[in-house]
Chains A and B, each alone.
Chain A
Amino acid sequence: MTETPTVAQGETRTVGTASRTTWWLGLVVLVGTVALVLLAFFVAPEDDEQRDAVRMIFIHVPAAFLTYVAFVTTAIGSIMWLWKRSVWWDITAYAAAEIGVIFCALTLFTGSIWGRPTWNTYWDWGDVRLVTTLILFLLMVGYLSVRSMGDDEATSTRAAVVGLIAMINLPIVNRSVEWWFDRTLHQKSSLTDGNLEDMTLFTMVFGLVVFGLFFGWAMIHRFRVGWLERELRVGDLDDALAARRAEAIDHQESST
Chain B
Amino acid sequence: MTHLGYLLVGWGVTLGVGAAYSFRLVRRGRVVASRVPVSRRRWMTAEDK
Contact = CB atoms under 8 A, between A and B. Distances in A.
A40 B11 CA distance: 10
Interface stretch (A141-149, A188-196, A198-206, A221-229): A221-229
A222 B25 contact: yes
Q: Is the interface of A mostly helix, strand, loop or mixed?
A: helix
Interface in B21-37: 21-22, 25-26, 28-30, 32-37
Interface string B15-49: 10110011001101110111111111111111111
Residue of A20, A63, A106, A225 contacting most chain B CB atoms (<10 Å): A225
Contacts of B17: 102, 105-106
Contact of B7 (A56, A106, A235): A56
Nearest to A46: B2
The 3 closest A-B pairs by CB, nearest first: A17-B29, A19-B45, A16-B30
Contact of A113 (B4, B6, B37): B6
Contact of A16 (B22, B26, B38): B26
Interface magnitude class on chain B: 35 or more
Nearest to B47: A5
B29 A16 contact: yes
B3 A51 contact: yes
A33 B15 contact: yes
Contacts of A84: none
B29 A225 contact: yes
A224 B2 contact: no
A218 B17 CA distance: 13
B7 A15 contact: no
Contacts of A235: 36-37, 40
A253 to B, nearest CB: 30
Contacts of B29: 16-18, 221, 224-225, 228
Interface stretch (A6-14, A68-76, A157-165, A176-184): A6-14
B7 A10 contact: no
